[in-house]
Chain A
Amino acid sequence: MNYQIKKNIDSFPKLVLVAFFIGIIMPFPAKGQSPTPENMVLVNAGGFIRGMDADRGKTNSDKNQVLKEKLPVSKNTFEDESPARMIYLSSYFIDKYEVSNTQYKEFMRSTDHAAPAYWDHRHLNIPQNPVTGVNWFDANGYCRWNKKRLPTEAEWEKAARGPAGLTYPWGNTLDIKKANFSKGNTGKKVVTTPTDSYPDGKSYYGAYNMAGNVFEWVQDWYDPDYYKDMQNVRNVKGPQLGLKMGVPGKYEEKIKYGQKKVIRGGSWFAPAESITTTHRFWNDPMNNSYGVGLGIRCARDIKENSGMIARTYYMDALVEMGAEKFKKAYTSINKALSTNPDNTEYKNLKKIIKRRGDL
């Protein structure tokens, strides 16, 4: 069945099917794995659908038009989420909640780290609400101090949308009761909500507020064309450097030129269009306060045992076979079998590769 993975899969439903398929053939690697740390959730190794095809984006409530009005960003940016494709990630942990003011305060007290931009904002500095007004360096520093790291953009997206490729963490339709974002002129003063708010809006993996509340910094540099790179499909880490954003307009005036880091998830005053699980936005890594509400969620590696390394080679073999690179796939499956020679899954795949590649 594995040969169903083709090189250029562009139809979304097919991708969803494949995602489930991969989910089934890659059961949870529970053996020898470290227990899930407190207030983190486990995201299992396997494939997920990253991005959204441009044509789908267009029909999706005229998303592009809305974006065009709100943000003077380059034309590329409207297409920066496409094409949708299958990406394979090793297992990792990700924070169940956004980092709170209380947690950030501990970090400041113990390291003398500078206060975030909204530290003395009486509505945003509420202890149980997410810290906001941090730049990328603050976010990175906080995660490191906590013996964690920022998630990659792909890790963030997988944790938000789950194996079924959802548009929102909870499903495929917008629901104003499930996230804290700008809901238009309701007359209410909207600010951040506690990090454990909107439990009904949590993701498949159990992460809260991945839509709305505060934008979250990820590790990756931003390049609107990054998804068009068809080579890179396993444990992707983003481009080497970000694209220099030189787009004219008011936002640009503020943000100036230079390389940008990706931010994800939308915030309490961001429009509905920005809280989808695929929406990519960017900001200067130095910026802590222009207009968006910048917060943190950390991730952590899982110490992989040899069984999991074999699993990664097995995943490689699947991908390479899908790309009809049978020789490479053959090398990879042999590496997997050299660690786990008795694994029947691996043996079966080797047979398939041999037959399909005439090896």
Chain B
Amino acid sequence: MNKFILLAILTFSLVSGLNNLKVEALSEPSKKIKRDSVEMVVVQADKFLMGSKRDEGRADERPQRNIFLNAYSIDIHEVSNQRYLKFIQETERKEPPNSYSDGLLSKESGIKNLPVVQVTWYDAVDYCRWTGKRLPTEAEWEKAARGKHGNTYPWGSELMSNKSVNFDKDWEGIKTLWPVDGYPESSSVYGIKNMSGNVREWVSDWYAPDYYQNAPIKNPLGPQTGILKVIKGGSWHSFKSDIRPASRGKGGFALKTDGIGFRCAK
């Protein structure tokens, strides 16, 4: 009898819990149930310096212009294996290839807090959507990394050694990628981690080499169409010029490597 009552209470609380969730979902139709525990920061609506000045950086990231963005929030960490594998299990998808051994990624130990890699642009889009978020635009990503004043690197203007930033390294198995928590000294002005190095990150924009010359100065969303997607921030194997947040990596949306991951925005 006691057991029965306990069960009834449990059932009731479960159902009411679900009801609460439903109400939440209904009251904010654009946001789905929160499935992702990662901390996010709000980047306030404002202008920022995007791109590089003459004689700096590469041709495709010039000129430097003032771009206005509406407020948005962005994950302070890259998506980890743990978070990504939860999505894989709940949506019954196939796991990404395991970079560390021949077994399944989910059976690998010591990798939970490392950024997920070997994901395509579509994988990244699907994950963000599943959490009720989206991929950041290239402009959002760049502002989150550089702040308003056009920092060359997330932390300032001087390059740090690869003891504080994960770049210019060779593959060393499980030691190659660093935990998504990052180091405080290499965070961006908004406290966002690993914007330079560790993994390159998918953003939503198509790549066009002349986009920085022609983009609208308010909330640019990238070209209408293209061949390649933009990948920002460089990775563990990149050289210094590729880990500058203004630098524009690119790849086809089916590209998968041991150095491409992502983070979400809202």
Q: Which residues of A contact B (CB under 8 A)?
A: 108-109, 112, 114-115, 117-122, 124-125, 133, 254-256, 258, 284, 286-291
Smallest CB-CB separation from B170: which chain A residue? A125
Contact status B255-A289, CB under 8 Å: yes
Contact with A along B48-92 (1 / 0, CB 8 A): 000000000010000000000000000000000000000000000
Interface residues of B in 207-227 (CB under 8 A from A): 207, 209, 225-227
- Which of these, B99, B237, B249, contacts A114 with CB under 8 Å? B249
Contact status B257-A118, CB under 8 Å: yes
Contact status B251-A289, CB under 8 Å: yes
A135 → chain B, closest Cβ, in Å? 8
Contacts of A118 in B (CB 8 A): 255, 257
Contact status A290-B254, CB under 8 Å: yes
Contact status A112-B58, CB under 8 Å: yes
Can you pick out 13 interface pairs between chain A and chain B where the beta carbons lie within 8 Å of each other? Answer: A108-B239, A117-B250, A120-B260, A133-B251, A254-B253, A256-B226, A284-B227, A286-B207, A287-B252, A288-B251, A288-B252, A289-B228, A289-B251
B239 → chain A, closest Cβ, in Å? 6
Identify the interface centre among A119, A124, A133, A255: most chain B CB within 10 Å of its CB. A119
Contact status A115-B227, CB under 8 Å: no
The DSSP consensus for interface residues of chain B is loop
Smallest CB-CB separation from A118: which chain B residue? B257
Contact status B227-A117, CB under 8 Å: no
- Which of these, B207, B209, B253, B259, contacts A120 with CB under 8 Å? B259
Q: Which residues of B contact A (CB under 8 A)?
A: 58, 99, 171, 176, 200, 207, 209, 225-228, 234-239, 241-242, 247-255, 257-260
Smallest CB-CB separation from B173: which chain A residue? A122
Contact status A254-B254, CB under 8 Å: yes
CA distance A258 to B21 in the complex (A): 48
Contacts of A291 in B (CB 8 A): 252, 254
Contact status A286-B247, CB under 8 Å: no
Contact status A117-B252, CB under 8 Å: yes
Contacts of A133 in B (CB 8 A): 251, 255
Contact status A114-B255, CB under 8 Å: no
CA distance A118 to B255 in the complex (A): 8
CA distance A241 to B247 in the complex (A): 30
Q: A108-B239, A114-B249, A289-B252 are in contact. Are A121 and B228 (CB under 8 A)?
A: no
Q: Tell me the number of A-to-B contacts counted with CB atoms below 8 Å.
A: 82
CA distance A288 to B250 in the complex (A): 8
CA distance A112 to B246 in the complex (A): 14
Contact status B238-A120, CB under 8 Å: yes
Besides A133-B251, A289-B228, A289-B254, 14 other CB < 8 A contacts?
A114-B250, A115-B234, A115-B238, A117-B257, A119-B257, A120-B235, A121-B257, A133-B255, A254-B254, A255-B227, A256-B225, A284-B227, A287-B227, A290-B227
A192 → chain B, closest Cβ, in Å? 14
Contact status B200-A120, CB under 8 Å: yes
B216 → chain A, closest Cβ, in Å? 22
Contact status A109-B254, CB under 8 Å: no
A50 → chain B, closest Cβ, in Å? 29
Contacts of B228 in A (CB 8 A): 286-289
CA distance A133 to B258 in the complex (A): 14
A259 → chain B, closest Cβ, in Å? 12
Identify the interface centre among A122, A284, A288: most chain B CB within 10 Å of its CB. A122
Contacts of B250 in A (CB 8 A): 114, 117, 288
Contact status B259-A256, CB under 8 Å: no
Query: Which 5 A-B pairs rank lowest in CB-CB distance, beginning with the nearest?
Result: A120-B259, A121-B257, A289-B252, A120-B237, A290-B252
Contact status B237-A125, CB under 8 Å: yes
Contacts of A287 in B (CB 8 A): 227-228, 252
Contact status A121-B259, CB under 8 Å: yes
Contact status B58-A114, CB under 8 Å: yes
Contacts of A124 in B (CB 8 A): 257
Q: A119-B238, A120-B236, A122-B171 are in contact. Are A114 and B247 (CB under 8 A)?
A: yes
CA distance A62 to B242 in the complex (A): 46
Contacts of A112 in B (CB 8 A): 58, 239, 241
Smallest CB-CB separation from B235: which chain A residue? A120
Contacts of B235 in A (CB 8 A): 119-120
A237 → chain B, closest Cβ, in Å? 24
Contacts of A290 in B (CB 8 A): 227, 252, 254
Contact status B258-A120, CB under 8 Å: yes
